[in-house]
Amino acid sequence: MVTRLYTHPIYFEHLTPAGHPERPDRLRALGKVLEDDAFDRLERVLAPMGDEATILYAHPGSYLERVRRTIPQEGLTRVDSDTTVSPKSWEAALTAIGAANAAVDDVLSGRADNVFVASRPPGHHAERDRAMGFCLFNNAAIAARHAQKAYGVERVAIVDWDVHHGNGTQDIFWEDPSVLYCSTHQMPLYPGSGAKSETGAGNIVNAPLDPDTGSEHFREAFNTRILPSLDAFKPELIIISAGFDAHHRDPLAEINLHEDDFDWATGKIMERAGSFASNRLVSLLEGGYDLKGMSLSAGAHIKRLMEG
């Protein structure tokens, strides 16, 4: 397996208030884990700046300009009660999009079998015309559309195991059967969406988990809802919204997963990528707010991507 990692120093310059859970230290902690010899074969690539025009794949132009206008010359500006921007946030967000699209380019051109993107800000809460939940633009949605527009991919699956439901991704693809969106998440919990009854055009598969559950329920949800949906859909490309805040150490939720759960889930998705998508798999960092839990879980995930 050829596995690439995209990241960039600009992600450290997307600043949030003191004490905010979505902070630059998340990537610093992951970087420390990736210094281990086990990751020597990981191809590390500097993330490119994205093309602003690709934002329009998932968001209207009026929204793009509204976000641009919120970027301050100095200090911090709140977009909503949870989401903050700083002077370098626009550049960081564009580079997160650029990395996601470059990852799609890599797997569809054969330069890599799979790619992990370690970027900030995250994206899965960003709806068509609303920034929320620490997210400005929906990186996974833009990457899926890039695959369709640039390469003619007909079926893209997005698997979201962040502990918070990806309301933004669901919103963007609600009426689009060419994209399958599958999510495991805690419910009830922010943002309040993600019931099993929310099915879109038959392409939305939600597997909500009760608080204070753990590995058994998570794996059951994968085995009974997520994996059968992937098998029926037969995606040509799989994108993971890889949040690691379902880890038992995370302060924002109560799903008690361990690193080996993310390793297991990665392996199951890789099996489907091998069966239907010529191994083409792109993984984008979303949440995960305990530094140790997030970094060790992401490390287990990346190691599985490398090993196949």
Residue range 261-294, pLDDT digits in tens: 999 999 999 999 999 999 999 999 999 999 999 9
Percent of residues, the chain, with pLDDT higher than 90: 99
Confidence (pLDDT) at 242: 98
> What is the C-alpha to C-alpha distance for residues 129 and 167, in angstroms, rounded to an integer?
12
The pLDDT value recorded for residue 1 is 83
Q: What is the CATH number of domain 3-307?
A: 3.40.800.20
Q: What is the pLDDT of residues 65-108, one digit of tens each?
A: 999 999 999 999 999 999 999 999 999 999 999 999 999 999 99
pLDDT band at 47 (very low <50, low <70, confident <90, very high): very high
Q: What average pLDDT is seen over the chain?
A: 98
Residue 246 has what pLDDT? 98
Collapsed DSSP state (helix, strand, coil) of residue 117: strand
Q: How do residues 180-192 score in pLDDT, each as one tens digit?
A: 999 999 999 999 9
pLDDT tens digits for range 198-236: 999 999 999 999 999 999 999 999 999 999 999 999 999
* Apex 44 CA angle, 48 and 227, nearest 5: 90
Helix axes 259-276, 291-307, angle to 10 degrees: 30
pTM: 0.98
Backbone angles phi, psi at 76, to 5 degrees: -120, 145
Positions marked catalytic: 125
pLDDT at 308: 80
Q: Which tens digits make up the pLDDT trace of 160-179?
A: 999 999 999 999 999 999 99
Strand 77-78 and strand 84-85: pairing? antiparallel
Q: Where are the beta strands (DSSP E) in 91-168?
A: 114-117, 156-160
Q: What confidence tens digit (pLDDT) does each residue in 132-155 have?
A: 999 999 999 999 999 999 999 999
Instruction: Dump strand ranges (E) for the chain.
Output: 3-7, 43-46, 77-78, 84-85, 114-117, 156-160, 179-186, 204-209, 213-214, 237-242, 255-256, 281-285
Percent of the chain with pLDDT over 70: 100
